[in-house]
Each structure stands twice: as structure tokens, then as C-alpha cells.
Amino acid sequence: MAETADRTMNKRVLVVLSPWDVLQPFLVEELRATYGGQVTALLGVRCDERVASRLCLRVGGWLHMERLVISAELQACDLADYDAIIVNETLCASVLMQYLLRRTKHAQVVYVLWNTIDRIHCRLYNFRADFLHVVAMQDTGRVQVVSFDAGDCRRYGLWFNGQVVPYFGGTSVDEDTEECFFCGADKGRLPILQMLAQELQRQGLTYRFLLAPSRHQRYSKAERAWLTLHEHMPYDALVRETRRHRCIVDIVQAEQRGLTWRPIEALFYHKKLITNFAGIRDYDFYRPENVFVLGEDNNGTLAEFVRAPYQTVPAQLVQQYRITGWLERLVKGENMEEIMTIASTRGQM
């Protein structure tokens, strides 16, 4: 896992976990290795989407049934011990946030979104209505709602703090033995990946695309041949596979105005990146030697790009994208306004 760092904060922080986020155990381990007892992690809510839908009296209105929603460990926690509470995106967010505000007097409460709002679909309850209730809580002066998506920050008046993934230190014994790699759900990416695969093959580049089918999507027989990922891949296994390749492929969805995990993974593990996210040019870690932008850079130079040496990015810049740098910005109340403004402007073009 991550190396232990000599870092301290002048605040005690509670991280409230969501029940489904696969990255959280790794991120919490990294935080504890860095800050020790200054950071505590607890499960926030204990209900699934079906239970959440039954708690909704009407769209946007919640029955206050905290004993059914709030986890036992959070109810037993002395919240007065904490200066800041970081809440990960979850079901029943408005109930959870109201509970935290009621049980604390001075703590800063931060609600963190890990998805673009327009891409969150819950069949059984109205996530958007619940989210808007949380956004309105910013008027109390004690709540910040944070997103990695610059478009959502502009649209809803949120704070911008970038994407974050765990960091696994050390090196891999088979580092860079393969060339181009993608792993993820289809979500409309398949046609772009098919065209990219043709170009990679034409230039003699090898690739491995692990693509999972989208739910409720119908595929032709030819399309199904591309859907080779049918079981969940644990995140540490994904990182091991990533490290075997020289280059990560990143295909963002049309509405997205923020980074996925993949550019951060490329930054951490010194990998080249092929992406269709043009806004990446506005981020401080962008280097043309390391990042190839589909639709803007010359496709004929892909082989030269992938096989050229990686240009090292300064360690202090990489640190900003580690979970430690991300958390310290939240605790300090820092809004990455400059990056947000640049990326949002590009999103309007």
C-alpha cells in the first residue's frame, strides 16, 4: 500500500463511508498510515436503494427515520470529538447530513460527490431531489458540497477538489511489459474504443481492452465479442494490470467535465495516457509528452507517443492528487478555483 508519510493536521477528521464505494478501504488505509489517530472512518448509512425509496414520503421529502438510515456505529460515535466530517456520496444523503448538523455544533461538514450528477441514475428513488436538499444546506455556512466535475461545480455552485484514487507504492516485476490498456464499463465508449483499436493495430501497437456491458443495453453479436469483462475486478488487481502496461486509455462520457480515475493512475504510476478529455490540457500535470488527446493530436504519431520515454512530473505536484493532498484541501476549505474556472470555460466551448 502507500508509504507512511510524516504529515500532520491540526484537526481531527471523521470520514463517513458509503456502503458501496470499492475504493474506500484503500483510501482509508492510506489516510491512517499517514495521519494515524487524527482520522477515523465509519459507515454512514445502512440502507440500500430499495429501503431508501420506501423512506421517501414524496419526491424531495423525507420521513425522518434516522434509526433505519443511520448506521449503529455512527449513532454511537461522539461527534463532538471532530473538527471536520467528510461524507462520501451516498443514498439518503439529506437525512444523513441533517443528522450530522443536528449532532454537531461547530464541525465543518463536507459532502463529496464521486459522480457527475446527470450520470447518477437510481431507479427506485430520486437522487437529484435528495442532492438538491444537500446543496441547499450550504446556506447554513457549515456545509460544503464538493465535486471533481467542473461543469457540476459551475451549474450547482459547488466546490471543486478534483478526483482521487489510492496510491500503491513500490514497483511491479512486470512493469511496462505490455502497451495500451483500458478497463471499465461500456457507457457508450465502445464505438470510440473500436476505432482506437483499429488505429493501434494499424501502427503495430498491442492493446488490452476489458469492457463490461452497460445494464439494460442491447448488443449485436459483433459488439458482444468486445464485452470481455463479466465479473467485478478488485481495485488492487486493476492496479496490478495497469502497471503491466506503458499506456492507459481514458474515454470520458460526453457530459463529463472532470477527470476519471485513469489520468490520476497514469500520474501515480508514470504511464502514458490516451484520452478524449480535451480539458486535461488545463490541468497542471499535463505534459504533451505524456498525454495524447484524441481528436486534437495527430493519430499518426500514436506509436511514437506510446513508445517514447515518460517525462517525470514533480513530486510536489503529484502529491496534490494523493488522498492526503485532497483531504488537506478539504479541511483547509480550499477551493481549486483556478483549475475549476479554466476547465469550466473549456466545457462551455
Q: For residue 47, what pLDDT is reported?
A: 63
Lowest-pLDDT choice from 41-45, 123-127, 144-148, 311-315: 123-127
327 and 297, same structural domain? no
Q: Which pLDDT band holds residue 112 (cuts at 50, 70, 90)?
A: very high
Q: For residue 128, what pLDDT is reported?
A: 79
Is 111 a domain residue? yes
Contacts by 216-224, CB closer than 8 A, 24 or more apart: 217/186, 223/190
Q: What's the whole-number mean pLDDT along residues 241-255?
A: 92
Higher pLDDT, 125 or 94: 94
**Residue 92 Rama label (left phi>0; alpha psi -120 to 50; beta):** left
Q: For residue 11, what pLDDT is reported?
A: 84
Is 262 a domain residue? yes
228 and 111, same structural domain? no
Is 88 a domain residue? yes
Q: How many domains does the chain have?
A: 2
Is 149 a domain residue? yes
Q: For residue 56, what pLDDT is reported?
A: 52
Cβ-contact 114, 82 below 8 angstroms = no
CA count, 13 A, side-chain hemisphere, 239: 22
The residue ranges of DSSP E strands in 140-244, in sequence order, are 143-147, 159-160, 178-185, 207-212
Segments forming the whole domain that contains residue 149: 13-166+322-343
Q: Bridge-partner residues for 45, per DSSP?
A: 70
Tens digits of per-residue pLDDT, 72-89? 899 999 999 999 999 998
Cβ-contact 266, 256 below 8 angstroms = no
Burial of 107 (0-12, 13-18, 19+ CB in 10 A): buried
331: CATH: 3.40.50
Is 255 a domain residue? yes
Closest listed residue to residue 269, CA positions, set 252, 285, 282, 293: 285
335 and 291, same structural domain? no
148 and 64, same structural domain? yes
Tell me if residue 174 falls in helix, strand or coil. Answer: coil
pLDDT averaged over every residue in the chain: 84
Q: What's the whole-number mean pLDDT along residues 312-325?
A: 91
Is 2 a domain residue? no
Q: What's the whole-number mean pLDDT along residues 193-222?
A: 95
182 and 89, same structural domain? no
242: CATH: 3.40.50.2000
Lowest-pLDDT choice from 3-7, 125-129, 207-211, 339-343: 339-343
Is 337 a domain residue? yes
Tell me if residue 147 falls in helix, strand or coil. Answer: strand
Q: Bridge-partner residues for 123, per DSSP?
A: none
State the pairing for strand pair 291-293/272-275.
parallel
115 and 53, same structural domain? yes
Tens digits of per-residue pLDDT, 17-52? 887 677 778 888 888 888 888 899 888 887 655 555
162 and 17, same structural domain? yes
The residue ranges of DSSP E strands in the chain, in sequence order, are 13-17, 39-43, 56-58, 61-62, 84-88, 108-112, 143-147, 159-160, 178-185, 207-212, 245-250, 272-275, 291-293
Q: Which pLDDT band holds residue 281 (cuts at 50, 70, 90)?
A: very high
Q: For residue 218, what pLDDT is reported?
A: 92
Is 171 a domain residue? no
Tens digits of per-residue pLDDT, 94-109? 889 999 999 998 899 9
Cβ-contact 5, 324 below 8 angstroms = yes
